[in-house]
Structure formats: C-alpha cells, structure tokens
A and B are shown apart, each in its own frame.
Chain A
Amino acid sequence: MILRSIEVSGWRCFADSVRVGPFGDGITVLFGPNGTGKSTLFDAMARALLDRHRVSGADADTLRPWGRNLAPTVAVEFMHEGVEYRLEKKFLDHPSALLRRREAGRFVRLDEDDAADERVRGFLKGEAPGKGLAQVRHWGLAQVLWSPQGALDLPELSGDLPNDIRAMLGAQVAGPAGSRIEQKIQELYRGYYTATGKVKSGKDAPEAVRLEQELEKARGTLQEVRVRLAQYEAMSRKLEDLRNARAQARRDADAISETLANAARRVQQYAALRAERKEKAAQAKAADAQHSQIKQRIEDIRKSAADLAEAEKQRAEIAADLAAWERTVEEAGQQRLQSKARLENARAGQAATDAARREAELARRYVESAGLAREAGSRLESIRGAEAELEARRTERTALRAPDPATLAAVRQAVKDRDEAQVGLDAALTWLEIVPARDCELRVVAGETPGPQVVRAGSAGRFTGSPEVVVEVEGFGRIRAGGPSASAEEYRAVRDEAASRLARLAAPFGTQDMVRLEALRDEAQRLDGLIAEAATRLETMLAGRSRQALEQQLAAHQTVVAGVEQERPLWAQAPPDVAALDQHAEAVRVSVGDVVARAELELAAAERAHAAAQSQCAGLGGRLQEIDRHVASSRERWQSLAADGKSDEQRQAERNQRELDWGAARAALAQIDEKLEAFPEDPSEEHARLQRQREAANQAAQEALAEEARMEGQLADRAAEGPYSAAAAAEENEAALAAQHARERLRMDAIGLLRETYWQAKEQAIAGIVAPVEAAATRIIERIAGRRLGPIRLTSGFVPDEVRPQVAGAGVSLKQASGGEREQIFLAARLALAEVIARRERQLVVLDDTLTATDAGRLARVMRVLEEAAQKLQILILTCHPERYRALEGAHFINLEEAVAS
C-alpha cells in the first residue's frame, strides 16, 4: 500500500478541512514547526485505515478539536496492489465509513461501514481492536512499516504478523505444490489433533481415541474374568486339598480307633490286676497281723514273767538295806546329843574374851580423843591470830583515800583537756605589746583586761584580746590590733570545763597534783596486797571449815575424855597402854575361840550324819512301797497273758504257722506287682486321651466334609460360569481391539509425526529466511555506522535482539548501544523487513520525527540508504527540521504550515 493523500477536518488541531497530498511514490518530507499537526495527520491516516469507524469512549473523544463539537473526519486516498482507493471515515457523531475504488477514472463506492473497515484493515493484515482506539499491536504490517513519533524501536511484533511474515517467506519456500501438500497434511492432522497439538476428544475424537476407551474397558473386563478364572482354579486346588485333608482325617480317626481299642483292653487288664492286688494285699496284711499278734503275745508273756522275778528280787534287797539304815539313824541321834552338850560347855568361856576387848577399846578411844582435843585447841589459836591481822590491814586501807585507776585516768584526761584548751586559747588571742619611752597611761578599750592600764617606760606592756585588742593611749590615740580569727571563747569554755572536771575528780583526794595522786594510788595497792595475803592465810587455816565448827569439834573431844576419865580416873594421871590392853584381849579371845569352834564342828557333823541316815531310811521306805506295787502289777499282767490256756510250746507252734501263711501271701502280692510293672501309668488316662483324640479327628473329618461340600457347591457354581471361556472371549475381544487400536494409533501417530516433521522442516527453512533479513539489516547498519557494531541478530519474531561487534566476541544487548546507534539499528531492521514485505508491492514507510539522536555525519549516510530504499518503498518523513533532509535526492517536501494556511 502507498499513500496518495490525506484530508482531515474536525480532528484535534485541524478544526477546518485540510488536505495534504498528493504524495509521490518516493520520499516525501512533510515538515512544519511543532504543533502544526504533522503527527496528528499521521494519526488520522492510521485511524482511518485501522480503526473501526464506530469507535467510542474517552480516548476517541480526544480526537475532536479542543473546545469544538465537531465530528472527526478523515479521507485517505491510497493504492493497494495496483488499485486506487479512497476511504472516507467519520467518527463519533453519526460515524460512517465508505470505501471507494477508482474505476474508469473515478472513485466508485465499494464498501461502507464495517465492510469498509474490514477490507482496508485486511490490506494491512491488521487486527480489529476490541474496544477503544487501535493500538500499535493492532496495526499488522504497519507495526514494521510505520514508526510513530519518536518510537523507531520495534516492539515485539504481535498478532499474526510474525506468522504472516513467516507465511510469506514460507510460501516462497514451499511453492504451490508444497502448499497443497501442506494443506492436505493439515487437513489430515486436524482430523486427529486440535490446533494446540492435543489429540481431539469428545464427539470429534478420532477412532483411535474411541478404540482406546473401548480397549481400556475390554482390559478391565479381561482382568475381571481372569480373576474369576484364577478363583476357579484356586477353588479347585482348595477342594482337592480339602478332600486330601478329609481323607487324612479319616485315616487319623481310624488309626486312633485302633489304638483306642488296644487301650481299652489294657484298661481292663489293669483294672483286674489292681483288684487282685488289692485282695492279695488284704490277705497278706491279715496274715501279717495274725503272725504279729501271736509273736507279740509270746514276747509279752516272756517279758511279764521276767519283770515279776526282777521286782521280787529288788524288793528283798531294799528291805535289807532299810533295816540297816534304821539302825544307823538311832546311833547318829545319840552322837548328835553328845556333841551338842560339848558345845554348850565351850561357849561358857566367851564372856572373859568380850571384857578384855571392851577395855582395850575404851583405852584406845580415850587416848585418841585426848590427842585430838589438843590439836584442835592449837589450831583455833592460830586462826584467831590471823583474823586479827586481817582486820588490822583492812582498817588501815579504809583510812587511806586514794583514787582508783579509772578515776586516775579521768583526772589525767581532764588535765590534758585543760592544758590543750589553754594552748589553743593562747593562740587564739590577739596581743599587743607596747614598750613606751616613758611611763604611759592607757586604757584598754577592748581586750582581756579592759580598763585603764599603765605601762612603764622601757617595759613591755602586753595586752591580749579577741577578736581584737584596742588600747587608747592618752595623747597618742587608739591602737587597734587584730589577729587570728580562731574563737578564743570556744577554747576558753573547753579549758574551763576541763578545769572544773579536774577539780571535781580530784576533790576527794585533796590535791590535783598528779604525782601525789599516783603515790596515793601506789599505797592503796600495797595495802590491798597485804589484805589479800592475810585473807589467804586465814582461809588456809580454816581448810574450808568455820571457826565455830572447829570449836564444836574440840568440845566433843573434850567431852569424851572427860567421860572416860570419870569411868577410869587413874587414866587422867597416867594414860592407859592401849597396845598392852589389845594384846591381852587377843590372847583371851584365842584361847576361848578354839574350844568353841571345835565343839561347833563336831555338833554339825553329828547333825549331818543323823539327817543323812534319816533320809536314807525314808527313801528306802518309799522304794519298798513302790516295788511292792510293781510286783503286784507284774504278777497280775503275767497271770492275764497266760490265761489262754495254752502252753508256751503250743504258742510257738502257732507262731510258726502264722509266719508261713504271711510269707505265702507276700509272694502272691509280688507276682501281681510284677505284672503291674508293665503299666507305667494308669492306661485309663491314655484311653481317655485317645477317646478325645478320636472325637477331635471325627470332628475334623466332619468339618472337612462340610467345608468340602460347601466348596464343591461354590466350585460347581463357578465352573458353571465357564470362567475359561469367558476369559478366552474377553481376551480375544481385547486382542482384536488392541490390533484395531494399534492400526488406528499408528495412523494417527504417523500423521502427527508427518505434520511435526514437516513443520520442523518448515520452521527451519523460515529460520533460514531470517538470516537474509539479518544480513540486509547488517548491511544497512554497516553503511550507516561502519563495521563497528557487527552483525545484527533478530529474534524469531523479527525484532532486533543484539549486535555482535567483533571486539566483543559475543552478542551485545541493544540496551548497551548509544541512543543514536540504537535508533539506527532499528531503522536498519525496519527497512530490511519492509523490503521483504514490499517484495510483491511497494509499501508506505512512515518515519515520524525519528533519527533525532543521529549525528549529521551518519544522517547523511542514512539519506543515501533512504534514497535506495525509496526504489521499493514509499517513504514519508515527518519532521520539524526539514533542513536535515534537504540532501535527499528526489525527495518531495511539503510545508504543512502552508498547506494548512491554504
């Protein structure tokens, strides 16, 4: 398509009608200052060719001139495939579209309204916008051919444009025959697959899909019947097992029954033997009892006779002993009486012994008490002396007034405080010394001694005071002396308090002299030591007792002495000889004691002999009575045992017979026991156990039979189904479907593979076409910018993607290129693609205010490129800098400003 003219009215800045054209086949430069409507004119052309005439909405309203209620109207004359057209469109108010075709030298109505919209849009392979104004993406071929203001960059080509370009290129590759085959491939393919390459489903699904579904169902059925067949076979095996088990159970039961019969016989044998043994055992026991009885009787008679004889013998012996002991008792009694008389005689000499002892004891007490009385008197005398000395020392100490150590320390502190305060006071006072040349009368106005004073010539008059000393000297004036700022009054108060305290502390001792006070203290300490010494001595003498107690003790000794002297007056003159008296008493005691002791021993021995003899007699008397009773009972027992009227010989014969009977019974019992040893345990237990086993085996056989019958029923039912035949039929159906499906699937897959292989080959061929476009674009950019940028690479969608400068060695994104080079690269790509599109027909290329970043040098080269491109393309350049394009040879320049004005 190429443009012939544009006429607009009521369109944005064009309120009135403006017509621009005609445009030549080559280059047209439409120029004018900013705002004259160059881009508006281009916009009107694009809207006319690509927008619906009935477009509405806020965006569409912006097409009206500002502040005017005019309907935007545009008329475009163009040529497409050698035919001239005129398209008239009115937007917004009573919108309309009318397409006329030049026929016989005049435009004749061809389409109107929507038909006109659609036909013209088809010329450019544009897409109908959904709502609102068309966007660049709806422009079809114009996406490549037309560059809106300042937008030379190629956007990602949208819609069917890439496919359209490829189709154009592909058609050129495949040729007419190829296209027909491709069409047939597509028709076959669409019979099986959707446009997205998926196998069709639903009512349009190919036969393979239907067969696959049937096959799936058939496989499900096959699986089911195979399961039933397997169950049938398992049942058969199970039934066989059950029959085997039942037969085995029957064999087991039969074997157990046989064993049980044997066991029953053994039980009978065992029971008979047990009964016989019981009888024999009873017989043996009875024989044993009879034998034992006769044997015991014989033994009892023998023992009874022996006991009687022994008892009688013992009695005779005891009776003889008793008579002898009775005589001994009598003799021991007489002996005892004699010993008793001798003792009484010996005890009569005991009084002389006691008197001699008492005399000796009295003399010892007298001598001891007299000695103790003397000793106590002497001790009391010493105690009294010590008490007197202690009292004298205490009196002397009481008379001495001396300070104790605490008082003395307090006195020392008071003296110290007083002296320190006095020193401070002296330091705190101001002093003034006056040494007059002549006697001088003066008056102390302020000071320690206020009042008039006289100071003699040559002597020093010293005045103190605090805080100052003021002296008024007659005829001279006042003298004021100042000094330290310390408080003399404070020192004075401290000193006075210390002096007062000292006086109070020292008053009891009559002196404040420290030396005197310390001497008093030393004297007091010496007296205290003497008192302590005397007290210690007194305490030692008393030895813990009081003097009164000692005096009472002395009195007691003196009383004893006096009492004895009253009884033995001679002892007062001559004290008795205690030792001699003791010897005498001892001699008397020894003499009498020996006799008494012998008599006592003799009496004791006589009494013991008498008692022993009496005891023996009593014992023998008791034993005699006891043996008498034993003899009587033995005799009675013997008489009882021997009362059977048999002789000893007869009894022994009977015993021998009983012993033979017992031995025979034991032998018979041993024989039975020997038979019973063949039965290690009671066979009835085994019999009972076998009975239980047989019952269990019978039960198992019955259960197996029942299970077998049940399984036979199930198996018969399953066999009646003919499971194998069902499986065979299902398998054949599945196999037939599988074969059919495989054939259909093969057809479908083959068509899919054919189409895919064809498409891959075609894509590859088309991809090969992109290369010439790249090469063309590269040639253009090399002419404009030299070889610096290297080859241009396009995406599969024909959009410049990168350049490959030789120095980089790899692709470089266009984002890294400068603004000028970037627009030059896109211009090159657009022109290269435009040449491809324009192979069949010259096409309009619009460059609206582009190449603004290109320098003058390269722009000149661009001019050459555009001039060459114009051989196949109609190029419309919209610019406000016409001077930049003046170098274009053959270009037609249109001043829009003038066109509007005209």
Chain B
Amino acid sequence: MRFLHTADWQIGMRAAHVGAAGGRVREERLAAARRAVGQARAAGAEFILVAGDTFEHNGVDRALVQKVGDILAGFGGPVFVIPGNHDPLAPGSVWEHPVWNVSPQLRVLRDPAQVSVGEVDIFPCPLTEEHSRRDPTAWISAAGSGRIRLGLAHGSLEGIALDDLDYPIARDAAERGGLDYLALGHWHSWARFHGPDGVPRTAYSGTHETTRFGERDSGYVLLVEIVAPGAAPVITPLGAGGLCWQELPRELRAPGDLGALRGSLEALASPDSTLVDVRLAGLLFAAEQGELARVRELIGARFLFGRLDESGLRPAPEDDQWFERLPDGVLRETAVRLRVLADPSYQGPRREGATPEVAAQALMDLYKLAGEVGA
C-alpha cells in the first residue's frame, strides 16, 4: 500500500518579506501543489493524506479554495484532508466552501472518527481552533484490527520545538495508538522519527514549497509505502518546491571578494525562480565601487527577488588612497566626521537622523564623488 503524505501548503500565505515578489511566491505554492498531486499519481499512490494547514488562513481568497479543491480532486483517487491550526474547522472557514462537496473522493475529515479506505483505517485528528494545549491524537485507541492503521494529525511533536506549545503530540503517539504510521503537519521541514523499535512510524512531510529564507529541508512531499499491518513504513521524500531561496552572507575582506560574489550570483540557475538575500559586511575598497554597483544591479534585476544589505560595509581603513586624494581641509574633515558617525559604537552627539547607516551611506556618497572628480 502506497500513499502520499503532505502538509502545510499554506496556500494564500503572505510574503511581505519578499515585497513585490509576494504574488509570485503565492502562485508557486499552487504550482507546487499541482506537482505534488502529479507525483502522487506518478508514484502510484492509492490516496493522499494532507495533514493540515492546507491554507494559510481561513480568510484567504475563495478563488484559492476553489483552485486547491480542484487540484486535489484532480488526483482522481481518495484524498483525505484535515483542518490544521491555520485553517481550523471554525465557522466561516475554508471548509464550508462547496468545492469540498463536489467529489466523493475528496474528503475533509471533520470529526475525530475512524474512516476506512481499502485495507487501511485512518484516524484523523482535525483541529477546530488556532491554539490549544490538547494532544489531538489522544483519542486514538490501540485496539488492533488486523488492518493498516494510519494517523493523520497536526501539531508539535514533543521535543521538536520548545517555543511552540500548541497542540502537543506525544512522542510515542504512533506506538500508543497502535498506528503503522502517523502523518503529521505543522513543522515545515520534513523529518521522520523512530520508535523504540527503531522503526520510523512518525513523520512530518514539511511544507511542499519553501516559505522563507533559511527554511531547511522544505519543498518536499513524502511517498510512504507500508506492505502490511505492522510492517515498517518506507518513506521517500519527493521534491515538489519550485522556488530557490538563496541566502548569501558575505564578509568582504580583500579586493576581489565582490567580484567573486558577482560570479556566484551569475552562476545561480533559474534566476527567475530564485530569491536571493545578500548581506554584505566588511571593507569596501575604492576600486570596488564599480563592482558593488554591478552587484547591486544584478541583484535588483536578475532574480525573482533580491535583497542587498550594504549597511555592514565600511570604506577600508587601510584604503587611504581616496582620503589622501581628498583636498586637505574641509573635505577631509567631512570624511573624518562621517566615518566617526558611521561607527555604531560611537557614543558622541548625533543630530536627528544621523544614524550609522545614514552616515555610512553619506561617506560612501562622498567616496563616490571624490572618485568622480578624481580627487
């Protein structure tokens, strides 16, 4: 028996952190959903389990609900969905949309009650509110039936995250409930957890499409195969994500570092589906001004989204050529004062708005002007 386990599609998710690329990011989540369903079909999955947070919020655009319903119904086989803490089964929720009643194959499991499909018994744990301290799997009894028993729940497996206290799920929930596999949602990185017998019967599929920079092991769905009741599940992660979230922190230490960075950026494949976050720190050499401008242009134009943080850059102190080129007197005094203000550790008086960032930018501007006039 083979099925697809996915969760945390977070359809309609806001993406303010990527500014104008937010719309594209949302679109990609739908595209990834289509890919996931396609992979289920291709892998011969008998059914799909969606372990909560299909939607980011119950207030998402109803057109999105329709699209998701259509995507899942497009699988052609049974699809079992439970409401998660982002889209709990509450009045006015996405689950009241008529799309969920169109196909008998598409079933929103609204009650903690066993359902059966083929040789499998499924024990769903739907959520009805955003926050709770109860274990949603607690109702599952360990009575054996000689059939494959699957749990479908959404919450925080104990020991995963200390700061997430909503819907705690006991680490031994699968064993305690006599489950062959407990399909979990809520955690965006895919992970499997072994029981005392060394068999991984509990797993998070993670989100099918990465949601932000730094989110590791995301963009997957899980293909699970269980040959018989009590048999060890075979879990295979399948890539479903379409976006590449690339963090590029760089400490510039020597002339040429910026060039290397530019090379890395140019080497990134599929720039139109790549989001980059470049954080520069360290020393900017006079000769690197042009390189910096090119990097800036590259980040701003080539990628789906690019962010360049230059606030950590300082003119290289040993790079005193441009200081020396400045006429002695007012201009040099100006540069000195700006360099002092650009130092975050400076404790002296500052006029309103003269933050280190502004001062650093002003110093860079003076640096650029001095270069332009050949001073």
Chain A interface residues toward B at CB < 8 A: 170, 173-175, 177-178, 180-182, 184-185, 188, 229, 232-233, 235-237, 239-240, 243, 711-712, 715-716, 718-720, 722-729, 731-736, 739, 746-747, 749-754, 756-758, 760-762, 764-765
Q: Are B338 and A757 in contact, with the CB atoms below 8 A?
A: yes
Q: Are A177 and B359 in contact, with the CB atoms below 8 A?
A: no
Smallest beta-carbon distance A797→chain B, Å: 20
Which residues in window 350-375 of B have CB below 8 A to A? 351, 353-354, 357-359, 361-362, 364-366, 369-370, 372-375
CB closest residue in chain A, given B360 = A750
Does B77 sit at the interface, judged by CB under 8 A? no
Report which of A170, A173, A184, A726 forms a contact with B373, defined as CB distance below 8 A.
A184
Q: Are B63 and A177 in contact, with the CB atoms below 8 A?
A: no
Q: Are A715 and B327 in contact, with the CB atoms below 8 A?
A: no
Whole-angstrom distance between the alpha carbons of A645 and B56 in the complex? 112
Q: Are B359 and A753 in contact, with the CB atoms below 8 A?
A: yes
Q: Are B365 and A751 in contact, with the CB atoms below 8 A?
A: yes
Smallest beta-carbon distance B354→chain A, Å: 5
Q: Are B329 and A175 in contact, with the CB atoms below 8 A?
A: yes
- Given A724-B58, A725-B64: A732 touches B369 (CB 8 Å cut-off): no
A758 / chain B contacts, CB cutoff of 8 Å: 330-331, 334
Q: Are B327 and A731 in contact, with the CB atoms below 8 A?
A: no
Q: Are B358 and A749 in contact, with the CB atoms below 8 A?
A: yes
Most B CB contacts (10 A, CB to CB) among A240, A735, A765 go to: A735
Whole-angstrom distance between the alpha carbons of A747 and B362 in the complex? 8
Whole-angstrom distance between the alpha carbons of A239 and B330 in the complex? 70
- Given A239-B91, A749-B353: A233 touches B59 (CB 8 Å cut-off): yes
- Given A184-B373, A732-B19: A724 touches B60 (CB 8 Å cut-off): yes
Q: Are B59 and A719 in contact, with the CB atoms below 8 A?
A: yes
Most B CB contacts (10 A, CB to CB) among A712, A734, A757, A760 go to: A757
Q: Are A177 and B92 in contact, with the CB atoms below 8 A?
A: no
B57 / chain A contacts, CB cutoff of 8 Å: 724
Q: Are A178 and B330 in contact, with the CB atoms below 8 A?
A: yes
CB closest residue in chain B, given A734 = B16
- Given A173-B330, A728-B15: A754 touches B23 (CB 8 Å cut-off): no
Q: Are B361 and A750 in contact, with the CB atoms below 8 A?
A: yes
Q: Are B338 and A718 in contact, with the CB atoms below 8 A?
A: no
Whole-angstrom distance between the alpha carbons of A173 and B330 in the complex? 7
B375 / chain A contacts, CB cutoff of 8 Å: 177-178, 180-181
Does B189 sit at the interface, judged by CB under 8 A? no
Q: Are B333 and A765 in contact, with the CB atoms below 8 A?
A: yes
Does B253 sit at the interface, judged by CB under 8 A? no
- Given A181-B370, A722-B59: A753 touches B353 (CB 8 Å cut-off): yes
23 A-B pairs, CB-CB below 8 angstroms?
Answer: A173-B329, A175-B327, A178-B326, A229-B59, A232-B59, A232-B92, A716-B92, A720-B62, A724-B56, A725-B60, A725-B61, A728-B12, A728-B16, A732-B14, A732-B23, A736-B22, A750-B365, A751-B365, A753-B362, A754-B338, A757-B362, A760-B337, A761-B331
Chain B interface residues toward A at CB < 8 A: 12-20, 22-23, 26, 56-64, 90-93, 96, 326-327, 329-331, 333-334, 337-338, 341, 351, 353-354, 357-359, 361-362, 364-366, 369-370, 372-375
Whole-angstrom distance between the alpha carbons of A739 and B18 in the complex? 10
Most B CB contacts (10 A, CB to CB) among A184, A715, A732, A765 go to: A732
Q: Is the interface of B mostly helix, strand, loop or mixed?
A: helix
Most A CB contacts (10 A, CB to CB) among B26, B337, B358 go to: B358
CB closest residue in chain B, given A760 = B337
A727 / chain B contacts, CB cutoff of 8 Å: 14, 59
CB closest residue in chain A, given B11 = A725
Whole-angstrom distance between the alpha carbons of A494 and B64 in the complex? 154
Smallest beta-carbon distance A221→chain B, Å: 14
Most A CB contacts (10 A, CB to CB) among B26, B57, B59, B369 go to: B59
Q: Are B59 and A747 in contact, with the CB atoms below 8 A?
A: no
Q: Are A751 and B362 in contact, with the CB atoms below 8 A?
A: yes
Whole-angstrom distance between the alpha carbons of A103 and B58 in the complex? 91
A728 / chain B contacts, CB cutoff of 8 Å: 12-16, 22, 26, 56
Q: Are A736 and B19 in contact, with the CB atoms below 8 A?
A: yes
Whole-angstrom distance between the alpha carbons of A722 and B58 in the complex? 8
Q: Are A725 and B12 in contact, with the CB atoms below 8 A?
A: yes
Whole-angstrom distance between the alpha carbons of A762 and B338 in the complex? 14
Smallest beta-carbon distance B12→chain A, Å: 5
Smallest beta-carbon distance B95→chain A, Å: 11
- Given A715-B92, A722-B64, A756-B351: A178 touches B327 (CB 8 Å cut-off): yes
Q: Are A725 and B59 in contact, with the CB atoms below 8 A?
A: yes
Q: Are B369 and A185 in contact, with the CB atoms below 8 A?
A: yes
Report which of A243, A723, A753, A761 forms a contact with B91, defined as CB distance below 8 A.
A243
CB closest residue in chain A, given B364 = A750
CB closest residue in chain B, given A176 = B327
Q: Are A174 and B372 in contact, with the CB atoms below 8 A?
A: no
CB closest residue in chain B, given A719 = B92
Whole-angstrom distance between the alpha carbons of A178 and B351 in the complex? 24
Smallest beta-carbon distance A568→chain B, Å: 154
Whole-angstrom distance between the alpha carbons of A754 and B341 in the complex? 11
CB closest residue in chain B, given A222 = B16
B373 / chain A contacts, CB cutoff of 8 Å: 177, 180-181, 184
A725 / chain B contacts, CB cutoff of 8 Å: 12, 59-61, 64
CB closest residue in chain B, given A720 = B62
A757 / chain B contacts, CB cutoff of 8 Å: 334, 337-338, 341, 362
Q: Are B92 and A236 in contact, with the CB atoms below 8 A?
A: yes
Q: Are B14 and A750 in contact, with the CB atoms below 8 A?
A: no
Report which of A712, A732, A746, A761 forms a contact with B361, defined as CB distance below 8 A.
A746
Q: Are A731 and B365 in contact, with the CB atoms below 8 A?
A: no
Whole-angstrom distance between the alpha carbons of A237 and B370 in the complex? 63
B61 / chain A contacts, CB cutoff of 8 Å: 722, 724-726
Whole-angstrom distance between the alpha carbons of A229 and B61 in the complex? 12
Whole-angstrom distance between the alpha carbons of A729 and B329 in the complex? 52
B63 / chain A contacts, CB cutoff of 8 Å: 722
Whole-angstrom distance between the alpha carbons of A182 and B334 in the complex? 11
Smallest beta-carbon distance B129→chain A, Å: 9
Most B CB contacts (10 A, CB to CB) among A236, A749, A753, A761 go to: A753
Q: Are B59 and A724 in contact, with the CB atoms below 8 A?
A: yes
A722 / chain B contacts, CB cutoff of 8 Å: 12, 59-64
Report which of A174, A735, A760 forms a contact with B331, defined as CB distance below 8 A.
A174
List 6 A-B pairs, minimum CB-CB distance, nearest first.
Answer: A722-B61, A728-B14, A724-B59, A736-B19, A239-B91, A732-B22
B338 / chain A contacts, CB cutoff of 8 Å: 753-754, 757
CB closest residue in chain A, given B307 = A739
- Given A181-B373, A236-B58, A753-B353: A762 touches B15 (CB 8 Å cut-off): no
Q: Are B12 and A236 in contact, with the CB atoms below 8 A?
A: no
Smallest beta-carbon distance B54→chain A, Å: 14
Q: Are B58 and A719 in contact, with the CB atoms below 8 A?
A: yes
Q: Are B359 and A715 in contact, with the CB atoms below 8 A?
A: no
Smallest beta-carbon distance B60→chain A, Å: 5
A753 / chain B contacts, CB cutoff of 8 Å: 338, 341, 351, 353-354, 358-359, 362
A729 / chain B contacts, CB cutoff of 8 Å: 14, 22-23
Most B CB contacts (10 A, CB to CB) among A181, A729, A746 go to: A181
Q: Are B12 and A765 in contact, with the CB atoms below 8 A?
A: no
B92 / chain A contacts, CB cutoff of 8 Å: 232, 235-236, 239, 712, 715-716, 718-719
In addition to A734-B16, A760-B337, 4 A-B residue pairs with Cβ atoms within 8 Å of each other are A180-B373, A235-B91, A236-B91, A747-B361
B93 / chain A contacts, CB cutoff of 8 Å: 236
Whole-angstrom distance between the alpha carbons of A739 and B277 in the complex? 14
CB closest residue in chain B, given A752 = B353
Smallest beta-carbon distance A631→chain B, Å: 105
CB closest residue in chain A, given B63 = A722
Most A CB contacts (10 A, CB to CB) among B61, B96, B353, B375 go to: B61
Smallest beta-carbon distance A712→chain B, Å: 7
Whole-angstrom distance between the alpha carbons of A235 and B295 in the complex? 49
A181 / chain B contacts, CB cutoff of 8 Å: 326-327, 331, 366, 369-370, 373, 375
- Given A750-B361, A753-B354: A762 touches B330 (CB 8 Å cut-off): yes
A756 / chain B contacts, CB cutoff of 8 Å: 351
